[in-house]
Structure 1
Amino acid sequence: MYKIVEKKILAPSIFMMKILAPRVAKSARPGQFIIIRMDEKGERVPLTVCDTDVENGTVSIVVQTIGCTTKAMEQYEEGDSFFDFVGPLGMPSELLEEDKDKLKNEKIMFISGGVGAAPVYPQVKWLHENGIKADVIMGFKNKEMVILEEDMKNVADNVYVATDDGSYGFKGMVTNRLKSLVEEGNKYDTVIAIGPMIMMKFVCKLTEELGIKTIVSMNPIMVDGTGMCGACRITVDGETKFACVDGPEFDGHKVNFDEALKRTTMYKTEEIQKDSIQKGCKVGGNN
């Protein structure tokens, strides 16, 4: 059993939990993910690692309540425990394999959309700890949905917040903000985009026009997390890849986003049916 030692509400329907899992905390690298099962018969939920504390043996995750399982997970409180907390899974960020002196001479831009800020944070934090600067554009629907802004400011060189409705920061999409920064004379060697599939698609469309190398994280289409279910199958440069074992990060300009977007809707009907039928989803945790 894996105990919840801290829980914090970040925004409506978005919460953060710190889970006591010393072995995972010691091994997890930026870019990797874990799988949670709330109970013995529970659904496997893949979630990106947001942060780790090796000294205290905790792993931080950020969850947005969307389906039946995450809504039930939201009812768990500090002191409750999850049945399974498996990881780290997937490949670490390719930044960790790059020459650090080379990275110090590059201009790196991260772009996050919504809860995509959670998997962006550990990568920017790792860069900061190694003396490497990075800028971040964080996109949200409105001011109320902004998360992890202060945490990001503590590790990033520059943080640019954009909201769709203009209620906070720059008014417009993250692509508009990136374009405006480039027009202001900023030059970027690499863009790393993590967020909703449609956001990553249009970021890649823009960066291809601008000639900027772009990495995307395909974690939105993961289901099983081991490559066995095939739900995260994608086409990259004409070859079949599995996001959970070959990724989740890939060259964004080589990903077939149209195919991937179709795959994200595969289980929508079943999820809606499950949510309506199981209004009695397990509420509360176990001690």
Structure 2
Amino acid sequence: MYKILHAENLAGNIFLMQVEAPRIAKHCEPGQFLIVRIDEVGERIPLTICDYDKEAGTITIVFQPVGASTERMSHLKTGDSFIDVVGPLGQPSEFIHEDMEELKKKKMLFVAGGVGTAPVYPQVKWLHEHGVDVDVIVGAKTKDLVILEKEMEAVAGNLYVTTDDGSYGRHGMVTKVIEDLTAEGKQYDVCVAIGPMIMMKFCCLTTKKLNIPTIVSMNPIMVDGTGMCGACRVVVGDEIKFACVDGPEFDGHLIDWAQAMKRQAMYKTEEGRALLKLREGDTHHGGCGHCGGDK
């Protein structure tokens, strides 16, 4: 059992949990993910690692309910436990293997959209701890959905917060901030963009025009997390990759975004049906012909 040491509602429908997992924490690197399971009947849920403490033996996850299992997770409290936590899985971010002196010369931009702020944080934190300051854009729909701002501010060289509705920070999408920063004279050798699929796609369209190499995380399309189900199959250039074992990070300019987003949509329907059934309980009967409850 993996005890939850701290559970918190970060903002809106976004939750943070710090979990006791010393063996996993000992081996964590930025960019990797975990698979958690609530109980014997729970689904295996892949989640990127938001933070880890090798000495304390803890890992931190941040998630937003999208299906029945993550909805159940959101109700767990401090002192509860997960029956399984597996990890760290996936490949670490490529920059941790680079020559440190060469890495310090690079101008790096990180773009975090919504819950994507969580997996961006450990990367920026790792770089900061190794003497590399980077620029970070954090985007959210509204002020109430901005997460980990203080934590990110402590490790970023420059932090730019933007909201779609202009209720906090800059006004507009993260892509507008990318364009604004370059127009102000900022030059970047590489961009790392993590967030919703649509956000990463448009970040890549923007950075491609600006000639900025871009890395993205394809965690949103993972299902099983071990390479067995094939759900996270993604076309990268002329190669077939699997996000869970080959990634989750890839060259965003080579991703076939149309296929990737179509694949993600295939599983959203099933997640929605399961979530509806969980919320309606005994009153759930289907009958509408759309939710699947009549099958």
Bin of the TM-score, shorter chain as denominator length: over 0.9
Deviation at 1:245, TM superposition (A): 0.2
Please give the alpha-carbon distance, in whole angstroms, between the structure 1 residues aligned to 2:106 and 2:269.
Answer: 44
Aligned amino acid, residue 19 of structure 2: I
Contact conserved, 2:234 with 2:240, CA < 8 A, in 1? yes
Deviation at 1:274, TM superposition (A): 1.6
Deviation at 1:270, TM superposition (A): 1.8
Question: Does 1:95 find its partner at 2:101?
Answer: no
Q: Once the two structures are superposed, what CA deviation does each residue of 1:77-133 show, in whole Å capped at 9, x if it has no partner?
A: 011110000000000000101111111111100001001000000000000010011
Q: Once the two structures are superposed, what CA deviation does each residue of 1:132-164 show, in whole Å capped at 9, x if it has no partner?
A: 110100010000000001100110100000100
Please give the alpha-carbon distance, in whole angstroms, between the structure 2 residues aligned to 1:126 and 1:232.
Answer: 27
Give the alignment's TM-score, normalised by structure 1.
Answer: 0.96
Aligned amino acid, residue 185 of structure 1: G
Deviation at 1:272, TM superposition (A): 2.0
Deviation at 1:7, TM superposition (A): 1.1
Aligned amino acid, residue 226 of structure 1: T
Please give the alpha-carbon distance, in whole angstroms, between the structure 2 residues aligned to 1:257 and 1:147.
Answer: 26
Aligned amino acid, residue 238 of structure 1: D
Equivalent residue number for residue 285 of structure 1: none
Q: Once the two structures are superposed, what CA deviation does each residue of 1:226-272 show, in whole Å capped at 9, x if it has no partner?
A: 01111100000121100000000001111111110000111222222
Please give the alpha-carbon distance, in whole angstroms, between the structure 1 residues aligned to 2:58 and 2:123.
Answer: 17
Give the alignment's TM-score, normalised by structure 2.
Answer: 0.94
After TM superposition, the structure 1 = structure 2 runs for residues 214-229 of structure 1, keeping only pairs within 5 Å, are 214-229=214-229
Please give the alpha-carbon distance, in whole angstroms, between the structure 1 residues aligned to 2:280 and 2:246.
Answer: 37
- Specify which structure has the bigger relative contact order, considering alpha-carbon pairs within 8 angstroms and separated by 6 or more residues: 1
Equivalent residue number for residue 153 of structure 1: 153
Structure 1 segments (4+ residues) deviating >6 Å: none
Equivalent residue number for residue 30 of structure 1: 30
Aligned amino acid, residue 156 of structure 2: A
Question: Does 1:141 find its partner at 2:141?
Answer: yes
Equivalent residue number for residue 271 of structure 1: 271
Contact conserved, 2:66 with 2:271, CA < 8 A, in 1? no
Please give the alpha-carbon distance, in whole angstroms, between the structure 2 residues aligned to 1:237 and 1:273.
Answer: 34
Deviation at 1:279, TM superposition (A): 2.6
Equivalent residue number for residue 114 of structure 1: 114
CA-atom RMSD in angstroms: 1.0
Aligned amino acid, residue 29 of structure 1: E
Equivalent residue number for residue 245 of structure 1: 245
Please give the alpha-carbon distance, in whole angstroms, between the structure 2 residues aligned to 1:114 and 1:53.
Answer: 23
Aligned amino acid, residue 216 of structure 1: V
Note the residue ranges of structure 2 that are not aligned, 5 or more in a row: 282-295
Please give the alpha-carbon distance, in whole angstroms, between the structure 2 residues aligned to 1:161 and 1:34.
Answer: 28
Please give the alpha-carbon distance, in whole angstroms, between the structure 1 residues aligned to 2:271 and 2:247.
Answer: 25
Deviation at 1:280, TM superposition (A): 6.7
Aligned amino acid, residue 268 of structure 2: K
Percent of counterpart pairs with the same letter?
A: 59
Evaluate the alpha carbon distance shift between residue 17 and residue 212 of structure 1 in structure 2; reply closer, same or farther with a 3 A threshold: same
Q: Once the two structures are superposed, what CA deviation does each residue of 1:49-102 show, in whole Å capped at 9, x if it has no partner?
A: 111112211100001122211111011101111000000000000010111111
Please state whether the residue corresponding to 2:266 is helix, strand or coil.
coil
Equivalent residue number for residue 69 of structure 1: 69
Equivalent residue number for residue 80 of structure 2: 80
Q: Once the two structures are superposed, what CA deviation does each residue of 1:151-196 show, in whole Å capped at 9, x if it has no partner?
A: 0011010000010000001100000001001001111110000001
Please state whether the residue corresponding to 2:231 is helix, strand or coil.
coil
Contact conserved, 2:25 with 2:58, CA < 8 A, in 1? yes
Question: Does 1:194 find its partner at 2:194?
Answer: yes
Contact conserved, 2:207 with 2:214, CA < 8 A, in 1? yes
Please state whether the residue corresponding to 2:40 is helix, strand or coil.
coil
Aligned amino acid, residue 20 of structure 1: E
Please give the alpha-carbon distance, in whole angstroms, between the structure 1 residues aligned to 2:124 and 2:276.
Answer: 39
Please give the alpha-carbon distance, in whole angstroms, between the structure 1 residues aligned to 2:55 and 2:251.
Answer: 34
Please state whether the residue corresponding to 1:266 is helix, strand or coil.
helix
Note the residue ranges of structure 1 that are not aligned, 5 or more in a row: 282-287
Aligned amino acid, residue 170 of structure 1: R
Equivalent residue number for residue 173 of structure 2: 173
Please give the alpha-carbon distance, in whole angstroms, between the structure 2 residues aligned to 1:6 and 1:132.
Answer: 30
